[in-house]
Amino acid sequence: MIQTQTDWEEAYRRRETPWEKGRAHPALLDFLAENGSLSGEIFIPGCGSGQDVPALSTAQNHVVAIDFAPRAIARAKSRPRVGNEEYLLADLVNLPPKFDHQFDWVFEHTCFCAIHPSRRSEYVSTVVRLLKPAGKMFAIFFINPDNEEGGPPYRVSRQELEEYFGPHFVVEREWVPQRTHPGREERELMRILARV
């Protein structure tokens, strides 16, 4: 993840991790049940303890999931392997060039909202750098978190999504998930974005 003022490692040490829900996002499971597995190379920024990763990982694809907090990555690595996934301790904007244009998909879930708005353009430019020319982004944007002021998570509007992602992506599909984690109803926006 992009470094912020939040001490993510300390949050994991104290077990103050409300974003960790103990299971994959219900809307992710619904999408995969309806559309099948994502294929190819998949990148997951800010994976936390990796709760979404088993749903995305198969023997036929390759998932690279990163997080900035060592405890999060240690928990993720302790999970039983279900496919061809790997977890890396890494800072999103400082990934080595070997990852440039490697991925067919980027899966976004609660990473973008955790980044201070002043650094969101770095997130977007990195995602563009990581994707293959015909790559896509599958996103569950948390657009309406509880905290009215400050963060993380930080609020994000549809207009901001257009400003940040619009120059680089076209929206192929957009919907509000029917199933989500309790307390997030009508507060998320799902998108499939294709790189232009």
Residue type at position 36: G
Total Cβ atoms within 10 A of residue 152: 18
In a domain, 177, yes or no: yes
H-type alpha helices, the chain:
8-13, 26-35, 53-56, 70-77, 120-130, 158-165
Q: What three-state secondary structure class fits 13?
A: helix
The whole-number pLDDT of residue 22 equals 87
Containing domain of residue 140, as a range? 8-195
In a domain, 35, yes or no: yes
Name the pLDDT band for 18 (thresholds 50, 70, 90). Answer: confident
To which residue do tokens 């390759």 refer?
62
In a domain, 57, yes or no: yes
Q: Determine the distance from the C-alpha atom of residue 76 to the mean position of all C-alpha atoms in its chain, rounded to a whole number.
A: 15
The whole-number pLDDT of residue 3 equals 43
pLDDT, tens digit, 9 for 90 and up, residues 119-159:
999 999 999 999 999 999 999 999 876 666 677 889 889 99
In a domain, 2, yes or no: no
In a domain, 1, yes or no: no
190, pLDDT greater than 90: yes
At CB < 8 A and 24+ separation, what contacts does 166-174 make?
Answer: 168/124, 168/128, 168/195, 168/196, 169/137, 169/193, 169/194, 169/195, 169/196, 170/194, 170/196, 172/136
As a whole number, mean pLDDT of residues 153-169 equals 94
In a domain, 3, yes or no: no
pLDDT, tens digit, 9 for 90 and up, residues 42-96:
999 999 999 999 999 999 999 999 999 999 999 999 999 999 999 999 999 899 9
As a whole number, mean pLDDT of residues 164-190 equals 95
The whole-number pLDDT of residue 2 equals 47
Number of domains in the chain: 1
CATH number of the domain encompassing residue 123 = 3.40.50.150
In a domain, 61, yes or no: yes
In a domain, 143, yes or no: yes
pLDDT, tens digit, 9 for 90 and up, residues 107-118:
999 999 999 899
From residue 20, give the alpha-carbon distance in Å to each of 74, 89, 149, 168.
14, 17, 22, 30
pTM of the predicted protein model: 0.93
pLDDT, tens digit, 9 for 90 and up, residues 22-42:
899 999 999 999 999 999 999
